[in-house]
């Protein structure tokens, strides 16, 4: 399931009121929580992979908390998750669509954990999306990685046939939805059904990368069947579950949907760490330019933004808005005239003064995606 930022294109003028959601404060040193749940005969393998990931995160400079079987209980995981910048989960996945009707999120689209400390590897208790939404508050723009779990990246259980593309998208979308909920706070959810042979922790600590850049990292292992970016039949889609989220699925040619990312694909590693990757002035891309009806906006103010493109675009560009004290949201623009696009947005009245960060993204008729960034003071 993936979600990232999406565009909704209307025929006329568009006014958007951003939902009020307090952002969760990031910390100077990213804090990672690595969870390894009971997974039957795979438990030993998952424990080794979890330990490797935790070691890589520590070596990259993160503060790491390990919640490992047979002590991977909800009672231990829940407090550790609060304010975490990175959550990595190895274990069973219970998603939807699946053979196990009906769809509900008391047990689906979450974690499979030990029912009590010392429980055997062959038993587990599912804590689904509802539990995540109710009880987990991550750091702002946190990254969640669901590793080796059935359904999370699109494929079903071991031995099941490769699903249709629409089923794979639905599964990935559902699995990411709770973590991407505005109260929970994740910026992206990555799901990998197979080993990746990519040091994801080191990538996250590399300045200037987007989450899509990280997802597109090739495997360091020479065997093509192992993980890392494939790029032969990838697909983008808008999320049905999460407003402003976009999905990218990267299936393996023979074994299907084992790689997915959902959320804000343009989220940068600098933003994830709580810093600013945007410049203090408009970025001179030469293709897109952002202007605002008021260059010194105040909280609660209604603003009109215009995006001017010097090249023809395939569709109206999107605009990512990050207001101090609130989570980022993506809105769509509508065509105004020639190559000018417009959107009207009502800012939140709460939060704090600081900065209004803007990022426009468009796709030219010919060429790669283009973007412009802008920071305005916010009063």
- What average pLDDT does the segment 21-29 reach? 46
Of 240, 272, 304, which residue sits at a domain end?
Answer: 272
Instruction: Give yes or no for residue 97 having a pLDDT over 70.
Output: yes
Give yes or no: residues 208 and 241 share one domain.
Answer: yes
b/e burial code for range 90-123 (CB count within 10 A of at least 16 → b): bbbbbbbbbeeeeeebebbbbbbbbeeeebebee
Q: What is the 3-state secondary structure (H, E, C) of 144-171?
A: EEEECCCCCCCCCCCCCCCCCHHHHHHH
Residue 14 lies in a domain: no
- CB-neighbour burial class of residue 280 (10 A; exposed 0-12, middle 13-18, buried 19+): exposed
Identify the domain containing residue 289 by its residue range. 278-378
- pLDDT at position 223 is 55
- pLDDT at position 373 is 84
Give yes or no: residues 285 and 267 share one domain.
Answer: no
Residue 103 lies in a domain: yes
Give yes or no: residues 234 and 303 share one domain.
Answer: no
Residues above pLDDT 90, as percent of the chain: 66
The DSSP output letter for 364 is B
Give yes or no: residues 184 and 289 share one domain.
Answer: no
Kindly report, residue by residue over 127-160, the tens digit of the pLDDT: 999 999 999 999 989 999 999 999 999 999 999 9
Of 237, 272, 307, which residue sits at a domain end?
Answer: 272
Give yes or no: residues 87 and 210 share one domain.
Answer: yes
Instruction: Give yes or no for residue 280 having a pLDDT over 70.
Output: no
* 375 band by pLDDT with thresholds 50, 70 and 90: confident
Please tell me the pTM assigned to this model. Answer: 0.75
- CB-neighbour burial class of residue 300 (10 A; exposed 0-12, middle 13-18, buried 19+): exposed
| Residue 78 contacts residue 136 (beta carbons within 8 Å) | yes
Give yes or no: residues 164 and 283 share one domain.
Answer: no
**In angstroms, what CA-CA distances link 252 with 27, 158, 300, 317?**
36, 15, 47, 30
- What average pLDDT does the segment 300-328 reach? 88
Residue 24 lies in a domain: no
CATH code at position 296: 2.60.40.1930
- What average pLDDT does the segment 4-15 reach? 28
Residue 21 lies in a domain: no
Kindly report, residue by residue over 178-233, the tens digit of the pLDDT: 999 988 999 999 999 988 889 999 999 999 999 999 999 998 775 545 679 999 99
Residue 190 lies in a domain: yes
Give yes or no: residues 265 and 310 share one domain.
Answer: no
* 278 band by pLDDT with thresholds 50, 70 and 90: very low
- CB-neighbour burial class of residue 146 (10 A; exposed 0-12, middle 13-18, buried 19+): buried
Count: domains in the chain: 2
Of 221, 244, 272, which residue sits at a domain end?
Answer: 272
Instruction: Give yes or no for residue 20 having a pLDDT over 60.
Output: no
Give yes or no: residues 332 and 372 share one domain.
Answer: yes
- Report the relative pairing of strands 31-36 and 63-68 from DSSP bridges: parallel
Residue 8 lies in a domain: no
Give yes or no: residues 179 and 287 share one domain.
Answer: no
Cα–Cα distance for residue pair 27/43, rounded to 1 Å = 32
Residue 172 lies in a domain: yes
Give yes or no: residues 266 and 307 share one domain.
Answer: no
| Residue 95 contacts residue 241 (beta carbons within 8 Å) | no
Residue 9 lies in a domain: no
* 28 band by pLDDT with thresholds 50, 70 and 90: low
Give yes or no: residues 230 and 210 share one domain.
Answer: yes
Give yes or no: residues 192 and 317 share one domain.
Answer: no
- pLDDT at position 364 is 87
């Amino acid at each position: 399931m993936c979600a990232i930022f999406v565009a909704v294109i209307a025929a006329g003028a568009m006014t958007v009121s951003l939902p009020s959601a307090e952002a969760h404060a990031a910390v100077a040193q990213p804090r990672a929580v690595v969870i390894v749940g009971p997974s039957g005969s795979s438990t030993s393998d998952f424990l080794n992979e979890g330990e490797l990931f935790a070691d890589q995160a520590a070596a990259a400079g993160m503060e790491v908390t390990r919640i490992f079987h047979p002590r991977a209980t909800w009672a231990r995981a829940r407090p550790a998750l609060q304010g975490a910048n990175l959550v990595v989960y190895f274990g069973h996945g219970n998603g939807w669509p699946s053979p196990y009707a009906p769809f509900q999120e008391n047990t689906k689209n979450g974690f499979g954990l030990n029912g009590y400390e010392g429980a055997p590897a062959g038993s587990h208790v599912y804590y689904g999306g509802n539990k995540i939404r109710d009880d987990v508050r991550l750091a702002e723009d946190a990254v969640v990685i669901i590793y080796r779990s059935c359904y999370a990246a699109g494929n079903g259980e071991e031995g099941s046939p490769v699903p249709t593309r629409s089923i794979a998208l639905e599964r990935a979308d559902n699995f990411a939805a709770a973590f991407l909920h505005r109260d929970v706070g994740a910026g992206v959810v990555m799901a990998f059904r197979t080993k990746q042979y990519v040091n994801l922790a080191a990538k996250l600590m590399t300045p200037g990368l987007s989450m899509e850049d990280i997802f597109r990292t090739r495997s360091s292992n020479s065997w093509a069947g192992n993980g890392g970016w494939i790029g032969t039949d990838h697909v983008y889609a808008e999320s049905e579950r999460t407003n402003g989220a976009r999905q990218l699925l990267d299936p393996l040619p023979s074994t299907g949907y084992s790689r997915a990312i959902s959320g804000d694909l343009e989220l940068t590693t600098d933003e994830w760490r709580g810093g600013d990757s945007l410049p203090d002035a408009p970025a001179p891309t030469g293709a897109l330019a952002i202007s605002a009806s008021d260059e010194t906006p105040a909280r609660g103010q209604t603003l009109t933004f215009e995006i001017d493109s010097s090249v023809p675009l395939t569709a109206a560009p999107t605009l990512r808005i990050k207001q101090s004290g609130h989570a980022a949201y993506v809105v769509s623009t509508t065509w105004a005239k020639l190559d000018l696009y417009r959107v009207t947005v009502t800012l939140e009245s709460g939060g704090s003064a600081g900065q209004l960060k803007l990022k426009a993204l468009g796709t030219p008729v010919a060429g790669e995606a283009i973007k412009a960034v802008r920071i305005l003071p916010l009063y």
